Structure 1
Amino acid sequence: MSSLCDPISSAGGTSLWRHQDFRRYLTGQAASVAGSSISAMALPVLAVLELDVSPAQVAWITFMGQLPPALLALHAGALADRRSKRKQMITGDLVSAVVLASVPAAAALDRLSLAQLMVVAAVQGAAGVLHDAAAISLLPSLVDRSLIQRSNSRIGALFAVAATAGSNLGATLTALLGPARALLGDVGSYLVSAWCTTRIQTRGTNVTRAGSHRLHTEIGEGLRYVRRDHRLRTLTLVNATTSAALALLNTLWALYLLKSLSMSPTAFGVVLGLGALGAAAGALAAPALARRYGAGPMMLVALALPPLTQIPLLLASPARTWQIGIGAALFLQLACAAAAGTTQRSIRQVVTADDMQARMQAVSTWLTSGARPVAALVAGGLGTRIGVRPTLAVGTCLLLVPLVVLYRSPLRGLRQMPGAQPVPSPPGDPLVQPPVPSPSPSPGAAPAGDGQRNPAAGGGGTA
């Protein structure tokens, strides 16, 4: 049973794919990513082409989906650190499956409305943040910390492949069955994810510290922990500003392609698939790029390129040549996002203590999620007032902000992935670094520094 219950520990000789719990985790989460890509393909088509929503209404649907994570992320993180992460993940999956299944049911009865899509978005957002807070923080209990960057690289690549498959499957299902019934593919993915999670046997998912402190006290501990560590603070701020810019762009992106550029649903799915392939390439390349050029310089370049990738989108007209250009630009954009995202998440997970993993991640989710609904409403207002294309130009300019944040940080010169030991704050920083104890070595654990790690599919800039 040791192979099922102990973290993967051999940095060099043990394949991550041979660990059963890691495979179960990957299978469930990859199924969920594929399903979400089906919804990402089908829902905009359903809202824009069948319900004929306006830019402002698109923004309200997005707002309703992104508001619950902003309100609940800190609580979800604290719950995940004190209770069973597996049970929290399963609950989130099952709630999402039930509420999403109501959309094709209502469409079949000709009762689907904009109000229902808003309610579904809100409930899915709440269930999703419960699931994600536990899922992201579960990884460090499955693998040794020396393998975190390599694990996240594999996760990011597999998630991108799953997203590609989901996008293309979503386009096919939408064309064959219609956008409402295509959502049943995502419903099934939630059920697969829940089943795989029930099969995980790692000891790290056991209940810990239930009831030892009040929830708001533990939330405060998480906020202070991130604030006092200059690395966590900087990377969390980079995430939040990136998220705000991407939220503004993504709110109107599908509307712009489907209506302004007259892109067909099939071509839209192909473009999403190209973006997912870029994310896979970026995730796989991230460890090697970080070793060769340094994690800090690599992240700087990865943040500098996305504003340039928006140029084809802003100049495009309804023509196949421009569709190809937009697809190529999205490939590069998501390659950069995956390379930077998996690296920064690896850094945050490596330097964070075991009992703070979920709360650390929850702080990032809270800030990034808090930025998204505001950006969605701004996008809707600007899109209605000045037009969709000028609003996308505003979002492109906002992509420069995270680049500036990282450039002004000591992390810009980071050459090696940090170990699990605290480092002093930079000169002039009045805050004291919180202690980050090394994890207790498991039987056969590799020495610190033997491996690497990297993740993230959070869609375009996730937390």
Structure 2
Amino acid sequence: MKTDTATPPTAPDAAPPVPLRRNWRFQALWAGQAGATLGLQIADTAYPLLLLALTGSSTLAGAFGAVQIGAAVLFGVHGGAAADRYNRRRLLIVGDSVRLVACASVPLAMALDRLTVAHTLLVAVVIGATIAYTGPVRLIAVRSVVPPEQLRQALAQDEARMSGAGLVGPPLAGALFGLGRNAPFIGTAVASLLALTAALVVKFPGGPESRTQGTKGTKEMRGASGTDGTGGTDGTTGSALAGYRYLAGNALLRPILAVVLLINVAGAAMLLPVMVILRGQGTSSAGIGLALAGEAVGALVGALLVSRLHRLAGPGVLLLAVSWLTVPAMFAPLLPGGPVTVFAALFVVGLGIPTLRVMIDLLVFSRVPDALRGRVISATLTLFTVGMPAGMVGSGLLLDHLSPATALGAVAALLTAGLTAATAGRSLRRSAWPEQAAAPAGTPAT
């Protein structure tokens, strides 16, 4: 009897992923995100100017940004929980629709001569709240339409969007004002419409992975205590604060997030003293704006360097290197060259910003069980957002008692103290990148 020894047919190799530039779902989502980001950048410039024109009060002009950030922080806790409990795509569509209606109401009220301060500040609340609900969903949506091996490239392109919007938004708002009093607000409404259109057109997984997968993934991430840091037994249970508990319970993420939070506080605190110093040197408002644009220009260029910098050093080392560069950059306005020197210093610091943002994504967002991901993303974004108003308020208090140069020195000293403690620890210096650009949900954190 003859035995058949033929080798069984092997499965064909998996087809290579579609190049990112031809991934229409990612590009459509990217276009929608770009529209949403650009609209927010225009709003951040146009609404304070509108309130200043309506009331002549600088306090009310600054209140728009404060109210918007406050709403984003206040609703951020529930926004992350909603992303883990409800249909994410539906949440994105509803959030973008509400923001579109709010933004469109302003030029309509202006045309009817019915716009009030209360109406404008209510729009600030709505914008902040919708950011809290749609922000985590948009970050999750990108992951669902991009293969793991392309995630770093996709995130780098997303950073280019952020930097480009930050660079173009403020001058575009000024240009739109030149076309008409209500033109910038029509622009924000159109940008919101673009974001909503992308949410309607692109289909992506509407909810977290199954509870079985979420439970399994979270069990793998438990520490010696046998819990996942959420206060529950798996990522599908626990309170809306589960994201904060997860971050607090991870030995690597704690110093990473602490350093980034410190950088956000210091970066926001240095802006006002720098502007006061440049103004005292005779720099015009336009010149100050161009000098401060150095960070956005640097970040736009830095988005092209993400993969190279990630190959150059580990995440902790890169984080510390970029953070330490911020210390001497703070003293740039005291050096010869004025706005040119400030632009150059901020450009150098900005080169590393996309690297750090992608680092946070790869080490935190992409490695959290999907059932917990919305809350972790929301917690992280909220922590970073809180740092900006804290830095602004702190710099104002310093300038009430110190000269601008001394205030910069105080902020630099605070940053130096925090970075010295972080550098002395071993967890950051020994951290390593995941083996892949994005590990599957449930993979143990580095």
TM-score normalised by L of structure 1: 0.74
Q: 1:421 to 1:186 in 2, by over 3 A?
A: closer
For residue 92 of structure 1, give the secondary structure of its aligned residue in structure 2: helix
Task: Summarize the alignment of residues 219-230 of structure 1 with structure 2, pairs less than 5 Å apart.
Answer: 219-230=240-251
Q: 1:118 to 1:376 in 2, by over 3 A?
A: farther
Deviation track 1:417-455 (CA, whole Å, cap 9, x = no partner) reads 455999xxxxxxxxxxxx96249xxxxxxxxxxxxxxxx
CA contact (8 A) 2:109 2:115 kept: yes
Letter in 1 for 2:263: T
Deviation track 1:299-341 (CA, whole Å, cap 9, x = no partner) reads 211111123222234568xxxx533333333322322222222
Q: CA deviation at 1:401?
A: 5.8
| Greater mean alpha carbon deviation, residues 86-95 or residues 299-308 | 86-95
Distance 2:178 2:202 in 1: 36
Q: 1:364 to 1:98 in 2, by over 3 A?
A: same
Q: 1:307 to 1:170 in 2, by over 3 A?
A: farther
Letter in 1 for 2:427: P
Distance 1:260 1:116 in 2: 36
- Residue 307 (structure 1) aligned with residue 307 (structure 2): no
Q: 1:200 to 1:147 in 2, by over 3 A?
A: same
Deviation track 1:158-207 (CA, whole Å, cap 9, x = no partner) reads 332343333442332234435x53232222111101111111122x2247
The residue that corresponds to 1:416 in the other structure is 433
Letter in 2 for 1:324: V
Q: Which of 235, 241, 244 is matched with 2:256 structurally?
A: 235
For residue 217 of structure 1, give the secondary structure of its aligned residue in structure 2: coil
For residue 133 of structure 2, give the secondary structure of its aligned residue in structure 1: helix
CA contact (8 A) 2:273 2:405 kept: no
Q: 1:194 to 1:223 in 2, by over 3 A?
A: same
Deviation track 1:212-241 (CA, whole Å, cap 9, x = no partner) reads 999982424333322222223332223332
Distance 2:270 2:208 in 1: 40
Q: CA deviation at 1:346?
A: 1.9
Q: Which of 174, 186, 189 is matched with 1:187 structurally?
A: 189
Q: 1:13 to 1:96 in 2, by over 3 A?
A: closer
Q: CA deviation at 1:47?
A: 5.1
The residue that corresponds to 2:4 in the other structure is none
The residue that corresponds to 1:205 in the other structure is 206
- Residue 329 (structure 1) aligned with residue 345 (structure 2): yes
The residue that corresponds to 2:300 in the other structure is 280
- Residue 133 (structure 1) aligned with residue 147 (structure 2): no
- Residue 124 (structure 1) aligned with residue 124 (structure 2): no
Task: Summarize the alignment of residues 322-401 of structure 1 with structure 2, pairs less than 5 Å apart.
Answer: 322-384=338-400, 386=402, 391=407, 394-400=410-416
Q: CA deviation at 1:71?
A: 2.0
Distance 2:25 2:264 in 1: 31
Q: CA deviation at 1:146?
A: 3.4
Q: 1:421 to 1:30 in 2, by over 3 A?
A: closer
Letter in 2 for 1:309: A
| Greater mean alpha carbon deviation, residues 103-112 or residues 32-41 | 103-112
CA contact (8 A) 2:208 2:371 kept: no
Q: Which of 253, 270, 289 is matched with 2:309 structurally?
A: 289
Distance 1:224 1:403 in 2: 24
| Greater mean alpha carbon deviation, residues 281-290 or residues 225-234 | 225-234
Letter in 2 for 1:301: A
Distance 1:414 1:126 in 2: 35
What is the aligned length? Answer: 410
Distance 2:284 2:183 in 1: 18
Q: Which of 71, 74, 77 is matched with 1:74 structurally?
A: 77
Distance 1:419 1:405 in 2: 30
Q: 1:436 to 1:215 in 2, by over 3 A?
A: closer
Which consecutive unaligned segments of at least 5 residues does structure 2 have?
A: 1-12, 216-231
Distance 2:347 2:334 in 1: 16
For residue 202 of structure 2, give the secondary structure of its aligned residue in structure 1: coil
Task: Summarize the alignment of residues 4-19 of structure 1 with structure 2, pairs less than 5 Å apart.
Answer: 14-19=18-23
Distance 1:102 1:436 in 2: 41
Which consecutive unaligned segments of at least 5 residues does structure 1 have?
A: 1-8, 423-434, 440-463
Letter in 1 for 2:24: Q
Distance 2:119 2:281 in 1: 28
For residue 203 of structure 2, give the secondary structure of its aligned residue in structure 1: coil
Q: CA deviation at 1:86?
A: 2.0
The residue that corresponds to 1:437 in the other structure is 442
Distance 2:359 2:15 in 1: 18
CA contact (8 A) 1:90 1:194 kept: yes
Q: 1:18 to 1:379 in 2, by over 3 A?
A: same
Distance 2:422 2:14 in 1: 33
The residue that corresponds to 2:174 in the other structure is 171
| Greater mean alpha carbon deviation, residues 282-291 or residues 253-262 | 253-262
Q: 1:304 to 1:207 in 2, by over 3 A?
A: closer
| Greater mean alpha carbon deviation, residues 99-108 or residues 218-227 | 99-108
Q: Which of 94, 103, 115 is matched with 2:97 structurally?
A: 94
Between structure 1 and structure 2, the one with the greater Rg is: 2
Distance 1:11 1:381 in 2: 59
| Greater mean alpha carbon deviation, residues 12-21 or residues 64-73 | 12-21
Q: 1:265 to 1:146 in 2, by over 3 A?
A: same
The residue that corresponds to 2:225 in the other structure is none
For residue 201 of structure 1, give the secondary structure of its aligned residue in structure 2: coil
Letter in 1 for 2:197: W
